[in-house]
Amino acid sequence: MHIEVLDKGYVRLIDHMGSDLTVVNAARVSYAKQSPALTDKDIRLISFLAREGHTSPFRHAMLQLEVYAPLMVARQWWKYVVGSAHYEGTGDSLEAWNESSRRYITEEPAFYVPAAGEWRQAPENSKQGSGGTVSWELGEKYTEELMRYTELGLEKYEAALAEGICAEQARLFLPAYGLYVRWYWTASLQSAAHFLQQRLAHDAQREIQAYALAVLDIVKTLFPVTAEELLGMS
């Protein structure tokens, strides 16, 4: 599966381990039992596990994704790797992250630039997040401003490389937050569900919401019963 996100980004399924049946059999091993195929009884078991917060069986199924996203999205996402062994009630350390590095590669930089109709207002009653869309004229102004700023940084980056500056320092000229980065994310099904529960919330940043929706599509395809019972999303 390959799902395009924003203007240049994507989420791509690389590999996965297990299915909804994996969750069932991880739970049934407590009684030395195993289900050869998913039944209605097994679906009720998944519902019980999700409802009662018995999360460990969901950590026996895994998925591996390749993500291409602006740095501002990547750094929000990275918090789930840092916290995966610590957030309450899970003890989940089955998560890994490997990211491309501009110390080693000099591929053509790509940047996220919101279109004129995508700029949002500051929220009225909060210090974070965003409100409604700004006027087209104001959005167009800042799209053009950001494009000019990005082009200037790119010119200086390429000039530094051309004059022999090492890539790991030349990258300092690249405007950071909109720069697209690529990484592999490997996570347990339970950890992915935790990410989705938070980043599909109404108050999550809209750009990472778009990526969470792509991850949700993949989870629903691979683990349809768990997506329904653990996330309430069929």
Catalytic residue ranges: 199
3-state secondary structure 165-188: CCHHHHHHHCCCCCEEEEEEEEEE
> Is the Cβ–Cβ distance between 180 and 69 less than 8 Å?
yes
Q: What angle do CA 154, 155, 159 make, to 5 degrees?
A: 115
How far is CA 52 from its chain centroid? Answer: 26
| Structure tokens that stand for 16 in this block | 């996965």
Residues in the chain: 234
- Are the beta carbons of 60 and 1 closer than 8 angstroms? no
End-to-end CA distance of the chain: 18
- Residue 10: φ, ψ to 5°: -165, 165
Report CA-CA distances (Å) from 191 to 70, 80, 96, 194: 22, 8, 11, 5
Going along 42-103, which residue ranges are E strands?
Answer: 62-70, 95-99
Q: Indicate if the alpha-carbon torsion angle 117, 119, 123, 129 is positive or negative.
A: positive
